[in-house]
Amino acid sequence: MNIAIFASGTGTNAKKIIEYFENNTQVKVNLIVSNKATAPVLDIARENGIDILVIDRHNFYKTQDILNFFNEYSIDFVVLAGFLLLIPSYLTKSFENKIVNIHPALLPKFGGKGMYGMNVHKAVHEAKEKETGITIHYVNENYDEGAIIFQAKCLIDTEDTPETISNKVRILEHEFFPKIIEQTITNQTET
Ligand code: GAR
């Protein structure tokens, strides 16, 4: 199984996923896709000898060129780890139940367009939520609406700020995302 990770940010999740599958003979991360040529995640790809594809937003929506790259790299599974563009329907259709995303809150709360990174944690803080967490879900053509695979929760204290909430959520992301990817892939190959 070959995984492509889509990421546009710092890439801490991408790093954990790469490390987790490093010595796995069945599953390999062999492509990092980003729409930002300067994204720090691309340095993580370079450090780990993983090929990079920088995509242009217009081409991503108006052509299906990316499917040629996926063929070339024999991509079976796609992981969104801090990728903020909506996935076009030609891709969700070709990779039905083979694209997963991590969202830094308990969907269906605090999801949708514009809800990413610190925006999510600020909204959670403002809403005075007592708990938050992570959601790992399949990706369809709408933001944050695909079937939920896994959620994990953490408590929010009255002293918490958006930053401390973000730190708590990040710990859950790093602990669970690689394992849930592995489980999802394993379940699919067994059925
Ligand atoms: C993660 O917290 C992920 O949940 C979030 O972007 C961050 C990427 O961090 N994704 C979204 O908000 C998607 N709506 P990273 O670059 O350090 O992995």
CATH number at residue 159: 3.40.50.170
> pLDDT digits over 101-112, tens only?
999 999 999 999
Candidate list 103, 121, 125, 137, residue with the active-site label: 103
> pLDDT digits over 29-85, tens only?
999 999 999 999 999 999 999 999 999 999 999 999 999 999 999 999 999 999 999
Q: What contacts 163, CB < 8 A, 6 or more positions away?
A: 121
Q: What contacts 183, CB < 8 A, 6 or more positions away?
A: none
> Structure pTM?
0.97
What total number of domains does the chain contain? 1
Q: Cα(125) to centroid of ligand 1, in Å?
A: 17
Q: Map residue 144 onto helix, strand or coil.
A: coil
Q: What does the pLDDT read at residue 191?
A: 65
